[in-house]
Amino acid sequence: MGKIAFVFSGQGAQYPGMGKELYECSPAAKAVFDMADSVREGTSAQCFEAEKEVLNRTVNTQPCVFTADLAAAAAVVEKGIKPDYVAGFSLGEIAALGFSGMLSYEDAFKLVCRRGELMDISSNERKGTMVAVVKLTPEKVEEIASRFEDTYPVNYNSPAQTVVATSEENADALCEAVKAEKGRGVKLAVSGAFHSPFMNSAAVGLGEYLENVELSEPNVPVYSNVTAKPYGSDENSKDYKALIKAQVINPVQWQKTVENLIAEGVDTFIEVGVGKTLTGLIKKINGDVKAFNVEDKETLEALDI
């Protein structure tokens, strides 16, 4: 058997009731939710009971998805499965950092709470949105984006899916330009233009917050969204705090991350957390690898590798 990678879900996959079944069936998952509640009272109730509109606010989304991600990973480990590598999509990377031991669970949770607050503030200071573009190559998406001001490809998800951050005023025209090139643009239900210069003030605030945070060496390699390589693997990735800060204003190199993991011998990916967005993207990047998702009792019990 080849190597195993855990991949932690990102923002956008949240839904009411997420994590509740794992809380009820896995002591390890319950311990993660209890930890979150001890730092941010009501996090579990928000995951289990809040309406979609509440969960979709960045300041709530990030701590809630983080908790569901880490709880799912804990449940899989409790089942006896451990990863050789970990990676997370956007805020999922913070859960991966906590899982790896670079931060304690509590410190990683406090970090993601602050990250969500700062990105929420940035979103309100400078309004923006995101458009998922499918059926076009990343290069073509870059060319289309270059025609518009304040428009940036920010999530390189698969060979035929790239997400673009842009201003609210440009979103419809961008979708029309994509359609003219025989692609399809879909406006996402997000509260900001993440992983772009729209988040500059959030990056500054995150850098200031990280000055007082202690980071340890990871006990399992963590792949960075910015470099698509493990933290500490080369000169460009030795400053861990700089990478965490840079992540909020730089593109998520997801396709390259998955390809690099496969090159390292990973043939089994387990998406831990919320939904199965990453599972679908991985299968589009390479149809030969195995990809599973764990988000509830059924998917946890069905996991057999």
Q: Which CATH class, in words, describes the domain spanning 3-125+196-302?
A: alpha beta
Q: Which two tokens mark 17?
A: 């009731």
d(CA 75, CA 134): 34
Q: Print pLDDT tens along the chain (305 aa).
A: 799 999 999 988 899 999 999 999 999 999 999 999 999 999 999 999 999 999 999 999 999 999 999 999 999 999 999 999 999 999 999 999 999 999 999 999 999 999 999 999 999 999 999 999 999 999 999 999 999 999 999 999 999 999 999 999 999 999 999 999 999 999 997 889 999 999 999 999 999 999 999 999 999 999 999 999 999 987 767 799 999 999 999 999 999 999 999 999 999 999 999 999 999 999 999 999 999 999 999 999 999 88
DSSP 268-282: EEEEESSSSHHHHHH
State the pLDDT at residue 83: 98
Fold of 129-187: Alpha-Beta Plaits (3.30.70)
Catalytic residues: 90, 195
State the pLDDT at residue 258: 98
Residue type, 233: S
According to DSSP, the residues that pair with 135 across neighbouring strands are none
Q: List, in sequence order, the alpha helices (H) in 181-224.
A: 200-210
For 225, list phi and psi in degrees, rounded to 5. Answer: -60, -30
Q: Name the nearest CA neighbour of 33 among 5, 68, 61.
A: 68
Q: Which two tokens mark 177?
A: 């330009």
State the pLDDT at residue 109: 98
Q: Name the nearest CA neighbour of 61 among 274, 263, 261.
A: 274
Q: List, in sequence order, the alpha helices (H) in the chain.
A: 20-25, 27-39, 43-49, 52-55, 58-78, 92-100, 105-125, 138-145, 171-180, 200-210, 240-247, 254-263, 277-285, 297-302
Buried b (16+ CB within 10 A) or exposed e, 8-47: bbbbbbbeeebbbbbbeebebbbbbbebbeeebeebbebb
Domains in the chain: boundaries = 3-125+196-302, 129-187
State the pLDDT at residue 13: 87
State the pLDDT at residue 115: 97
Give 30's contacts (C-beta < 8 A, 6+ positions apart).
23, 24, 71
Q: Name the nearest CA neighbour of 89 among 36, 153, 186, 155.
A: 155
Q: Name the nearest CA neighbour of 69 among 288, 280, 239, 278.
A: 278
Residue type, 3: K
Give 153's contacts (C-beta < 8 A, 6+ positions apart).
138, 141, 142, 145, 162, 163, 164, 251
pTM (2 d.p.): 0.95
C-beta separation of 252 from 90 below 8 A: yes
Block residue for tokens 């500490």:
232
State the pLDDT at residue 162: 98
